[in-house]
């Protein structure tokens, strides 16, 4: 199959502001991944350090690094045809950091609304990352919403299945699992929808 470009290939030269923004994002990404590796090592040595007893700590030790490396791996696998997507990588990394920091500080148990907030936030983060990576800048609002909801709800469902398969059936939360799962998926939908609106508005106002 022959691929033809509809216009000459142009190499975009980033402005000073864009270079500065990329440097800031790159610094945040690297810092976040270093902190995540430290946290994973601590959990591997002692799950109680992050209050993860009974919450599949070893499965998280495997899942966190794999998920945090998803964007770099995809970028390399697709041939590195564009500048590295630092923002998308940061958003994905933050989902891992948020969960492990929340458990470390015991916020899931001490703050009644924290778990719900994290479901909204994490769905928003992964949905925004997916849109940034896959949806063209000139896409319509409908296309952005479709992509965000499709991926966000899929990711939310995958997380619920992860919890079900790794520890929920042996947890004291089992009795309320059905209502919690429905609520979590609804919050995931809300987070994805919010991400779509934020991205659509920011792209519309971008010079």
Rounded to whole angstroms, the Cα distance separating 178 from 120 reads: 18
Q: What is the mean pLDDT of the chain?
A: 86
Reduced to 3 states (helix: H, G, I; strand: E, B; else coil), residue 85 is coil
Residues 6+ apart with CB under 8 A from 47: 53, 57, 58
168 φ/ψ angles, rounded to the nearest 5 degrees = -65, -40
- CA–CA–CA angle 162, 163, 168 (5° rounding): 140
Rounded to whole angstroms, the Cα distance separating 183 from 30 reads: 34
Residues of the chain with pLDDT under 70: 1-14, 165, 167-179, 207
Report domain extents, the chain.
Answer: 16-204
For residue 28, the model assigns a pLDDT of 97
Rounded to whole angstroms, the Cα distance separating 60 from 159 reads: 11
| Structural contact between residues 152 and 126, judged by C-beta atoms closer than 8 angstroms | yes
Q: What does the pLDDT look like over 76-132, one tens digit per residue? A: 998 887 899 999 999 999 999 999 999 999 999 999 999 999 999 999 999 999 999
């Amino acid at each position: 199959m022959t691929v033809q470009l509809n216009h000459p290939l142009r190499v975009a030269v980033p402005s000073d502001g864009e270079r500065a923004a990329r440097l800031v994002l790159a610094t945040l990404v690297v810092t976040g991944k270093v902190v995540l590796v430290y946290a994973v090592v601590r959990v591997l040595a002692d799950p109680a350090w992050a209050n993860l007893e009974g919450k599949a700590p070893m499965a998280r030790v495997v899942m966190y690094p794999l998920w945090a490396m998803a964007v770099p791996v995809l970028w390399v696998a697709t041939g590195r045809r564009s500048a590295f997507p630092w923002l998308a990588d940061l958003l994905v990394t933050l989902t891992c950091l948020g969960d492990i920091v929340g458990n470390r500080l015991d916020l899931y148990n001490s703050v009644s609304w924290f778990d719900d907030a994290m479901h909204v936030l994490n769905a928003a983060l992964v949905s925004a990352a997916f849109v940034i990576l896959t949806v063209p800048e000139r896409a319509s609002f409908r296309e952005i919403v479709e992509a965000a909801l499709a991926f966000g709800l899929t990711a939310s469902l995958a997380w619920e299945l992860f919890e079900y398969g790794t520890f929920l059936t042996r947890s004291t939360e089992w009795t309320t699992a059905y209502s919690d799962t429905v609520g979590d998926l609804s919050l995931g939908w809300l987070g994805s929808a919010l991400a779509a609106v934020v991205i659509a508005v920011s792209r519309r106002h971008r010079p």
